[in-house]
Amino acid sequence: MKRYRILHLHTGGCNGCDVEIVSAIITGLKRGYEFKLVHNPDEADIIVSTGPLTEGIANNALEIIKRIRGKPLVAVGSCCLSGCMFVGKGSYAIRGPIGRYAKIYIHVTGCPPNPESILEAFIEASRSLK
């Protein structure tokens, strides 16, 4: 079984994508991939981000992204790309999509995207590690 460690960076949003990430991890087990969620950025092979970048988490999230420079960043959901419904309403709490501040290796579109699409992105990101 191929094993990879994922750091899930939730930067705001509705949690719809977060639920689908868990489904993708379970689906991966059935296909011979073990994607394990870790809490330490130094242990992570892949980082996955969900939601728009909120002011409350922005500094910590960007520091984590700097620490794991060179590892693939998978952005899941429309909010990571555009900020979606959270941007454009004059909200003081949203800094914007994570793509403004970090290089995204793979973007999985949808609101929320389906677990199979997320799993394919994880598999593609894992191929870049070899």
At 56-104, the pLDDT tens digits run 999 999 999 888 888 999 999 998 887 766 666 667 788 888 888 889 9
pTM of model > 0.75: yes
Tokens of 18: 């977060």
Name beta bridge partners: 7.
38, 47
- Is the predicted pLDDT of residue 55 greater than 80, yes or no? yes
Do 33 and 115 meet the contact criterion of CB atoms below 8 Å apart? no
pLDDT band of residue 13 (cuts 50, 70, 90) is confident
Q: What is the CATH number of the domain that holds 57?
A: 3.40.50.12280
Helix axes 115-127, 16-30, angle to 10 degrees: 70
Can you tell me the distance from the alpha carbon of 5 to that of 17, in angstroms, rounded to the nearest whole number?
Answer: 18
Tally of structural domains, the chain: 1
Residue range of the domain that includes 106: 2-127
Question: Which structure tokens are listed for 73?
Answer: 């960043």
